[in-house]
């Protein structure tokens, strides 16, 4: 006989907007625990995915994803024409429950089972890229304008011709891709380098990890801007580095202030072309002061150049590496914003004396980046498609930025002041009346939109409440209605 749920639909399911864990993971983990603890008995039929989605305020696709995952794990089973049921035959000995650590809460695991890095990492969020694709999602390029057909031709070209290999690639990355990147940097960034100075990594964070592991020991200091990117902050903390926080003002990192407080730091992490999230540029005097400190202190600078291609007032700014006469800058770039985040290809441009160490370390940690993707990207750049794509995107983002600023200025008048730099994909909306951005952020999510609260990026130094809004991924003809919905969401009750 089929056991049908009665009363409230799965009352133990509770979604917490304040938790870093994605909603689908919250639902999936809670359903699994309910089965393991006997709250959902074997043979119980679950409500239809449509009903569950309506009850939880999620998309049906998200709920279907949860159910399919639990079927694959053996907790649920589908019966033709009848629905989805708790599996009749569960393992005799249930696995240990899986927890979702949030905001420093830690599961009850014996410390002897974890390394120091493992202990630190379980306390910190790493759920980057898990946000739902909603209007104003920060850092989102216009993915619908990506030239998929051209990319597919490049991919097919390198696979059909036999250029791609099924074996491991060069630990530093395929030479042809390193050559194309060097050519691009020399032509478009006025920053020539030898291809042998480049090491390809699986994304920007892998590049930061290599630099930290190669150049600093646990306990060493790293200058880090406050506010700054949360996931990168957590990465360095997890690796055991001591965060030496630097203030940020209109001229970027306060180099004089942080050098007075932390003169013996081993590393400095900086975003000179466009600080995230404030959007400011590191001034030339401070760039030179930072380089002088690194030379005098035998320290290293990690330059994160994550979206410098998208500057709308003139050419992209020169990198710090291009004015580094002491070989103290490790330049990190990626294709996540210029192309799409899922490509997972980044790169480092290294001082010559560090190339051998970084090559070896890259080989030990991730062996090589998928070869076919590297060769397809090399073909894409070499065929002129990358430069053409960037030109089109700059024109598109200029249009979207102008519409965003004009319509946003009217829609948000009296609610927030928009601050949109001449580069990047995002803007800041400074909340009027001293309002707290966490509560406003939750209201925006409830309205079906997306943003980040500035306070999530603030480590110690308090700042006025603000929302980080991504305009680049919003079509111009949809900007105004979305901004009106945003205004309605953040208006005081």
Average pLDDT rounded to a whole number, residues 358-380:
93
pTM for this structure? 0.77
Contact yes or no for 173/198 (Cβ under 8 A)? yes
Q: Percentage of the chain surpassing pLDDT 90?
A: 64
For residue 21, what pLDDT is reported?
78
**What does each C-alpha distance from 205 to 114, 171, 225, 262 come to in angstroms?**
22, 17, 17, 24
For residue 115, what pLDDT is reported?
80
- DSSP secondary structure, 270-305, as one string: E--SS-TTT-----HHHHHHHHHHHHHHT-EEEEE-
For residue 20, what pLDDT is reported?
66
Q: Tell me the CATH number of domain 144-386, given options 3.40.640.10, 3.40.1190.20, 3.40.50.300, 3.40.225.10.
A: 3.40.640.10
Tokens of 115: 């390394």
38 vs 101: CA distance, rounded Å: 23
Lateral strand order in the sheet of 198-201: 198-201, 346-349, 329-334, 300-304, 267-270, 221-226, 242-249, 252-253
Tokens of 326: 């002491």
For residue 389, what pLDDT is reported?
96
181 vs 120: CA distance, rounded Å: 35
Q: Do domains 144-386 and 388-490 have the same CATH topology?
A: no
* Long-range contacts, stretch 70-78, CB < 8 angstroms, 24+ apart: 70/28, 70/31, 70/32, 73/32, 75/31, 75/32, 75/35, 76/46
Of 126-135, 350-359, 481-490, minimum mean pLDDT range: 126-135
Query: Does domain 3-102 sit in CATH 1.10.10.1200?
Result: no
- DSSP secondary structure, 373-433, as one string: HHHHHHHHHHTTHHHHHHHHHHHHHHHHHHHHHHHHHHHTTTTEEEE--SBSSEEEEEEGG
Residue 301 burial (CB < 10 Å; 0-12/13-18/19+)? buried
**Residue pointed to by tokens 């210029």:** 338
162 vs 140: CA distance, rounded Å: 34
Q: Where are the domains of the chain?
A: 3-102, 144-386, 388-490
What are residue 253's DSSP bridge partners? Answer: 248
Average pLDDT rounded to a whole number, residues 254-258:
97
Is the pLDDT reported for residue 304 higher than 50? Answer: yes
Is the pLDDT reported for residue 61 higher than 50? Answer: yes
28 vs 34: CA distance, rounded Å: 10
Find the distance separating the first CA and the last CA of the chain, reported in whole Å: 50
Architecture of domain 388-490: Alpha-Beta Complex (3.90)
Average pLDDT in the chain: 88
Average pLDDT rounded to a whole number, residues 31-47:
86
Please list, in sequence order, all residues whose beta carbon lies within 8 angstroms of the beta carbon of residue 4, skipping any fewer than 6 positions away: 44, 45
371 vs 381: CA distance, rounded Å: 15
Contact yes or no for 344/217 (Cβ under 8 A)? no
For residue 104, what pLDDT is reported?
47
For residue 179, what pLDDT is reported?
97
Average pLDDT rounded to a whole number, residues 451-479:
94
């Amino acid at each position: 006989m089929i056991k049908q749920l009665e009363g409230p639909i799965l009352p133990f399911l509770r979604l917490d907007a304040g938790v870093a864990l994605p909603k689908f993971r919250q639902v999936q983990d809670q359903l699994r625990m309910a089965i393991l603890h006997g709250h959902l008995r074997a043979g119980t039929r679950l409500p239809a995915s449509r009903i569950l989605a309506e009850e939880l305020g999620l998309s049906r696709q998200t709920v279907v994803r949860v159910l399919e995952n639990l079927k694959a794990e053996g907790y649920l089973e589908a019966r033709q024409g009848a629905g989805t049921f708790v599996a009749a035959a569960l393992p005799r000995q249930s696995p240990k429950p899986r927890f979702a650590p949030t905001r420093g809460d830690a599961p009850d695991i014996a410390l002897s089972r974890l390394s120091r890095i493992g202990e630190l990492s379980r306390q910190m969020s790493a759920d980057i890229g898990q946000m739902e694709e909603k209007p104003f999602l920060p850092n989102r390029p216009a993915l619908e304008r990506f030239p998929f057909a051209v990319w597919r031709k490049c991919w097919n070209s390198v696979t059909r011709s036999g250029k791609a290999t099924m074996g491991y690639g060069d630990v530093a990355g395929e030479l042809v891709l390193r050559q194309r990147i060097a050519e691009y940097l020399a032509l478009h960034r006025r920053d020539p380098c030898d291809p042998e100075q480049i090491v390809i990594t699986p994304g920007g964070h892998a590049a930061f990890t290599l630099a930290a592991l190669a150049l600093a020991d646990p306990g060493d200091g790293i200058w880090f801007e406050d506010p700054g990117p949360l996931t990168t902050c957590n990465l360095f903390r997890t690796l055991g580095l001591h965060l030496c926080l630097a203030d940020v003002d209109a001229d970027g990192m306060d180099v004089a202030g942080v050098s007075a407080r932390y003169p013996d730091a081993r590393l400095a992490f900086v975003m000179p072309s466009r600080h995230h999230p404030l959007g400011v540029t590191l001034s030339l005097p401070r760039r030179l002061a930072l380089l002088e400190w690194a030379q005098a202190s035998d320290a290293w600078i990690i330059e994160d150049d994550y979206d410098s291609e998208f500057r709308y007032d003139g050419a992209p700014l020169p990198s710090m590496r291009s004015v580094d006469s002491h070989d103290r800058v490790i330049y990190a770039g990626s294709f996540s914003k210029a192309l799409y985040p899922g490509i997972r290809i980044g790169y480092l441009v290294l001082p010559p004396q560090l190339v051998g160490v970084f090559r070896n370390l890259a080989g030990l940690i991730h062996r090589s980046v998928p070869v076919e993707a590297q060769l397809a990207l090399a073909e894409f750049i070499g065929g002129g498609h990358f430069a053409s794509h960037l030109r089109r995107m700059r024109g598109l983002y200029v249009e979207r930025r102008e519409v965003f600023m004009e319509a946003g200025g009217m829609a948000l008048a009296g609610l927030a002041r928009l601050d949109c730099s001449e580069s990047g994909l995002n803007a800041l909306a400074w909340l009027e009346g001293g309002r707290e951005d966490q509560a406003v952020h939750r209201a925006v999510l409830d309205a079906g939109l997306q943003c980040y609260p500035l306070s999530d990026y603030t480590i110690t130094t308090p700042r006025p409440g603000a929302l980080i809004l991504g305009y680049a991924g919003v079509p111009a003809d949809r900007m105004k209605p979305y901004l009106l919905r945003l205004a309605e969401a953040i208006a005081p009750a």
